[in-house]
Structure 1
Amino acid sequence: MRIRTIAVLAAALALPLTACAAEEDTAEPEAKPSATVGAPVEKEAEDSGEAASSPPAKVDSGIPKGPTGQARTGYLDALRAIDPWFVDDKGEEDAIDNGRNQCSSLDGDRAVWSAQKRFGKGPLREVTEAEAKKINEAVRKYICPNS
């Protein structure tokens, strides 16, 4: 039975591949991407001999880097002051990643809801509205003060 299942799956996966191969035979070949695709704008400008007209695209989609030094300590201490569970149960790196991701939600009308979902753990640990507001204050103070 297992061999039959594997054979059926293999045939099902191979069928679309043969259709793609037939289309490629009749179509004109596409240009291959250059080696500089995904390279920073400055690198492309150097290659073309022109000055860069805009800064390189943000690789991290606008998510700030994690805090370091006293900002990191202050953020983790602020979370522990709200409830040690936010740091101790999930770990420091998860707490920092949650804070970095929360920056994108601070200016919206769902900032509290987002903090509740991001820092909570479903029915195992729900974040109250008051806790979410304090989390957002800590995130704004230590991770993304320009938000």
Structure 2
Amino acid sequence: MKRTATTVLTALVLAAALTACSSDGTDAAPEKKPLPAPSTPSPAADADTEATASGIPPKPDAAKKLGYLRALNGIDPDIVHGKEDKAVDRGRNQCQTIHNFPKDKPKQAEMAELRFTSPSHPEGFGKLKAAQIVEAVHTNLCPTF
């Protein structure tokens, strides 16, 4: 009997001690804050994020594509040489060079000269036209780089 009384008394003292330690004076349960709803970025935001990260912009819409092709044809019609999609792909890849070497215009022009070729110009279009191509690409396909 003495042992049971001691056990009960010890349990009461421990319970009182635990209650005193964890109590802040209120009996209410702590408030749970709702988790914020996950946001779903728009496809345009995804494309912008991807372009910024990789340096390759999304395919241009019809108006941007037309402006870009007109700019290239204004430099030399043989740059496009009837292969519009290929010219756009080369331009998007050139955007990556512009992105990766933003202050190195000679590097950008060098890569454009290597990238933009045609059957009539297998070695590129020269330094002057390569610099103009870089400007056309930058203005029309990736102006934010």
Task: Give the TM-score normalised by structure 1.
Answer: 0.56
Q: After superposition, what is the alpha-carbon deviation per residue over 1:79-115, rounded to whole angstroms, capped at 9, x for unaligned?
A: 01111111125x0000000000101112152101000
The size of the alignment, in residue pairs, is: 99
Match of 2:91 in 1: 99
Equivalent position SS for 1:137: helix
Distance 2:137 2:62 in 1: 15
Give the helix-richer structure, 1 or 2: 2
Distance 2:114 2:103 in 1: 15
Match of 1:22 in 2: none
The 5 Å alignment of 1:66-105 reads 66-89=59-82, 91-105=83-97
Task: Give the TM-score normalised by structure 2.
Answer: 0.56
The one-letter amino acid paired with 1:112 is A
Q: Does 1:112 align with 2:109?
A: yes
Gaps of 5+ in 1: 1-48
Bigger Cα Rg: 2
Distance 1:118 1:108 in 2: 19
RMSD: 3.2
